[in-house]
Chains A and B, each alone.
Chain A
């Protein structure tokens, strides 16, 4: 038995002797998918490993306790009580503020981090010049992002003003554990010593800040157990406690999610490659009919012949997968450059065996399964075909219609089951995996349909062109044995991914730009105190800048929520005092701090969707004020029109009733609010203001900001053009990452094309030589090929673009809930690039057609 198998393996090996290169080429289309999976999985394993190793440095402590207001007395008492057990703690306060440098013109909104002595306990904040972090606490120093120096045209050693305090810039940041690279594009970071925080006088009424205590625990205290033991206290005080394990868990989860998303692209590339393999294998098997018939004549049984080609298919699958693994490991080394700015840890790429072996197994399995369909067709080849080649017909017909062959149907079912199993194994949950496989099936199915429709359309067109060469080129797409569909499918999918990406990115940027245009204002001043509001207003008017709005902001929390629709036990939900169990922990919507406003009319960025706007200043006879809620918040809180909510406004309880719901355009530059009150409810409450103005000239706008910040150092400004820049930058970075993955499917498309052309090479050379013999010039042959490949590219692009428009529309509509904008230019670029790629690959692959002399026609029998 072993002997016989050995003989079959040897036969299979010899049988591929003249076609090995071509077969390996066709298997390379599967290699790209395997490469993508191996790269993504290996990198994600690298990152998870790094997170595990660096988890304490990422948090900077054993336990972090934070809140959006100064830590309550109960919490500080708890922290103090830990000192007795050997714990130490220090503080970090994070907030936004304006920074300016003496002697330079600009101002910049920055993220200030006031660091207590000793922070962070773990991990090293790297600076340039090196080792300056330890000097930070020794005086009024600041360590800043180098982007801030560029923006403010400043240097190390210059004096940086934050509020009313001044700091000498000691160094720039090189690496902060736990911070992702793109964080700085939202606002440059500025580290100052905590003891100078008061001197800045920036944390005034209404300022938003994050107050954090970093706790270093002795090894005898388990931070997780500690956090759990006090969970109820933390929850009731709206304090967030994170241990190293929490950080590791949540980071690992995010990385795994990112890996799963990118892996999806790899999986699709693998399947597209598989379709290419099936198509190349079909062409290969058609050529092998003679050999198979001879083997049958010489006494090989049907199952032996089948075994020979099954061995070939499996061997090729293994070869393709092995190529993929090698490529994948190489790509893994490139991933840190592409994804690095989203990853909070330093990653040293290293070989991960599980993804490598998994990729090898999956690639072999998928490659062999896709090849199996055409291989099953060999069972239909009879020895008679040695004598009568025209009976090919029956075999070929059988090979082409898998529907009547139970074995091929079974192979298809196994293939589908494998894909579903892989999806389920990769997904967070089985049901999600099932959906993922349905989504993959739908995406491939839709591209397939688009490919078929476009190819059909082309064949209809075939009779139209008057020039023979063009007509011939067009008609080639629908000839027997054509590879149009797999090629169009593979190319189309690449175009689909790239096109969707380009359209979504374009739509988002356009949405942003149109919002910017719609907003009359392009500069906002916030954290403006009541006494400053009038002065700033005057300052703007004196300079002839309009004050477009003066919006009051009042911070508050929900004190009690009463909804008649709720179950009795839940009818009243006190959020203070009582400590609900973890399972009944109130949602964030109930616990959060609200920054609300009051006014007598609805804003242009809002639309009333239910109820009515108030006509009076309020309140009603029972002392209840009217409020208007943003509709999704109303859903989140589970309240409807008529429900009452009591608010805690700086210790004063204000009772309100929901009398209207609004839809809010959050993307507008104007300040928007979840909750808007009747004016009388909050007019006397402690409040800060946002002032909006419009200054067209960039230089004037910069000067105004600087003057305002110099006069009112606690005020911050937001320049609309900076937001646009930041969002643009982030979108760019995200799209580079996605584009990198989309590239895998484009390369797969190109490889499917190459292998399809290689599979039909003999036929093409023969046809070219014949045409030359019959009088065709090289120019005419080139025109035919050009027409065919350009059309192939065009059809692939068309199929991809149709789907991209649909996909991008759906993404904008359902995910981003913004206007979809059809941008023809990026689509045209993708389409033209695909066509050029197809034509170049096609003509390079067809160079034999030009090189062969017509004499071959006579010699070939």
Chain B
């Protein structure tokens, strides 16, 4: 369960303060597939950062599985992410100096999990990259890189997966396959998926849509594909 309560985020800019998010509250239940949508500059990415504990809010709180992220130190938040959170980024964010397999292993390696090798191999096979495991990111196409990123996001069996414009850098058909992969993993593993996008077609795959505009939640509705 992911609970956002009255989240506000402001940045100082010169002698003014810019408020990017204002009193955002919602609850996302386990196993949901949610899309956070809105135009550029509406505060989507900032919200995602707060929900994942990558950043701290100026006011309000985020509770992940009943743990208030604000009460945790930076390292404790990192450990929590390692255990419960997965990420998929628009720009893939693979570590260029690691092979596909090594990239996927990282979250488990960081925890000292012995099953890293077998689990990473299995997930890469599942995203269709069984024959590319030892390739470095630079040798993979965009779609392949994003599949590696998804395998990495799922390797630690997260309770929630955050995806930031996961198809933004991909062509339509590749993007579609990525979304289907996310849906499949959401369905099979019961992982909560939170996608941030301005792509309405992508958002249409979600079962709930939260719309932001100028830092405010302007719409929060169930959606049936």
Q: Is B96 in contact with A763, judged by CB distance below 8 angstroms?
A: yes
| Minimum C-beta distance from B89 to chain A (A) | 7
A767 on the interface (CB 8 Å rule)? yes
Q: Which residue of A lies closest to B48 (CB)?
A: A858
* CB < 8 Å neighbour of A773 from B87, B138, B142: B87
Q: Is B111 in contact with A858, judged by CB distance below 8 angstroms?
A: no
| Minimum C-beta distance from A306 to chain B (A) | 24
| Minimum C-beta distance from A854 to chain B (A) | 4
| Minimum C-beta distance from B86 to chain A (A) | 9
A775 on the interface (CB 8 Å rule)? yes
Q: Determine chain A's interface SS by DSSP, over half rule.
A: helix
Contacts of B83 in A (CB 8 A): 775
Chain A interface residue count, Cβ-Cβ cutoff 8 angstroms: 36
Contacts of B106 in A (CB 8 A): 771, 774
Q: Which residue of B lies closest to A776 (CB)?
A: B110
Determine which residue in A468, A771, A858 has the highest number of CB atoms from chain B within 10 A of its CB, and name it.
A858
Q: Which residue of B lies closest to A768 (CB)?
A: B95
Per the 8 Å Cβ criterion, residues 768-793 of A in contact with B are 770-780
Q: Is A468 in contact with B110, judged by CB distance below 8 angstroms?
A: yes
Q: How far apart are the CA atoms of A467 and B114 in the complex, in Å?
A: 10
Determine which residue in A476, A763, A775, A776 has the highest number of CB atoms from chain B within 10 A of its CB, and name it.
A775
A52 on the interface (CB 8 Å rule)? no
Q: Is B78 in contact with A480, judged by CB distance below 8 angstroms?
A: no
B13 on the interface (CB 8 Å rule)? no
Q: How far apart are the CA atoms of A858 and B79 in the complex, in Å?
A: 18
B10 on the interface (CB 8 Å rule)? no
Contact segment of A390-398, A531-539, A699-707, A800-808: A390-398
Contacts of B109 in A (CB 8 A): 468, 471-472
Q: Is B110 in contact with A774, judged by CB distance below 8 angstroms?
A: yes
| Minimum C-beta distance from B88 to chain A (A) | 11
Q: How far apart are the CA atoms of A770 and B137 in the complex, in Å?
A: 15
A615 on the interface (CB 8 Å rule)? no
* CB < 8 Å neighbour of B107 from A475, A763, A774, A858: A774
B41 on the interface (CB 8 Å rule)? no
Q: Is B112 in contact with A774, judged by CB distance below 8 angstroms?
A: no
Q: How far apart are the CA atoms of A704 and B95 in the complex, in Å?
A: 78
| Minimum C-beta distance from A99 to chain B (A) | 71
Contacts of B91 in A (CB 8 A): 860-861
Q: How far apart are the CA atoms of A795 and B82 in the complex, in Å?
A: 33
Contacts of A482 in B (CB 8 A): 97
Q: Is A853 in contact with B54, judged by CB distance below 8 angstroms?
A: yes
* CB < 8 Å neighbour of B89 from A392, A479, A779, A857: A857
Q: Which residue of B lies closest to A856 (CB)?
A: B54
| Minimum C-beta distance from A163 to chain B (A) | 79
Q: How far apart are the CA atoms of A773 and B52 in the complex, in Å?
A: 9
A855 on the interface (CB 8 Å rule)? yes
A619 on the interface (CB 8 Å rule)? no
Q: Which residue of A lies closest to B91 (CB)?
A: A861
- Interface residues as binary, A452-482 with B (CB distance below 8 Å gives 1, 0 otherwise): 0000000000000001110110011001111
Q: Is A390 in contact with B110, judged by CB distance below 8 angstroms?
A: no
Per the 8 Å Cβ criterion, residues 101-122 of B in contact with A are 102, 106-107, 109-112, 116
Q: How far apart are the CA atoms of A773 and B87 in the complex, in Å?
A: 8
Q: Is B96 in contact with A773, judged by CB distance below 8 angstroms?
A: no
B93 on the interface (CB 8 Å rule)? yes
| Minimum C-beta distance from A388 to chain B (A) | 10
Query: A480-B136, A780-B110, A857-B89 in contact; A773/B54 too (CB < 8 A)?
Result: yes
Q: How far apart are the CA atoms of A775 and B48 in the complex, in Å?
A: 16
Q: Which residue of A lies closest to B44 (CB)?
A: A858
| Minimum C-beta distance from B107 to chain A (A) | 5
Query: A770-B93, A773-B87, A857-B93 in contact; A396/B138 too (CB < 8 A)?
Result: yes
Query: A770-B95, A776-B82, A855-B49 in contact; A861/B87 too (CB < 8 A)?
Result: no
Q: Is B75 in contact with A778, judged by CB distance below 8 angstroms?
A: yes
Q: How far apart are the CA atoms of A288 and B79 in the complex, in Å?
A: 36
Q: How far apart are the CA atoms of A778 and B96 in the complex, in Å?
A: 20
Q: Is A777 in contact with B55, judged by CB distance below 8 angstroms?
A: no
Q: Is B54 in contact with A858, judged by CB distance below 8 angstroms?
A: yes
Contacts of A858 in B (CB 8 A): 45, 48-49, 54, 89, 164
Q: Which residue of B lies closest to A760 (CB)?
A: B97
B177 on the interface (CB 8 Å rule)? no
Contacts of A468 in B (CB 8 A): 109-110, 112, 116
Q: How far apart are the CA atoms of A432 and B110 in the complex, in Å?
A: 57
| Minimum C-beta distance from A785 to chain B (A) | 14
| Minimum C-beta distance from A502 to chain B (A) | 36
B81 on the interface (CB 8 Å rule)? yes
Contacts of A855 in B (CB 8 A): 49, 54-55
B74 on the interface (CB 8 Å rule)? yes
19 A–B pairs (Cβ distance < 8 Å), ordered by A: A390-B140, A396-B138, A476-B97, A480-B97, A763-B96, A767-B97, A772-B78, A773-B87, A774-B81, A774-B87, A774-B110, A775-B78, A775-B79, A775-B107, A854-B49, A854-B78, A857-B89, A857-B93, A858-B54
Given A480-B97, A858-B89: 14 more A-B contacts, CB < 8 Å: A472-B109, A476-B97, A479-B97, A481-B97, A773-B93, A774-B110, A776-B82, A776-B110, A778-B78, A853-B54, A854-B54, A854-B55, A854-B78, A858-B164
Q: 7 closest pairs, A vs B, by CB?
A: A775-B82, A468-B109, A479-B97, A777-B75, A854-B54, A855-B55, A775-B81
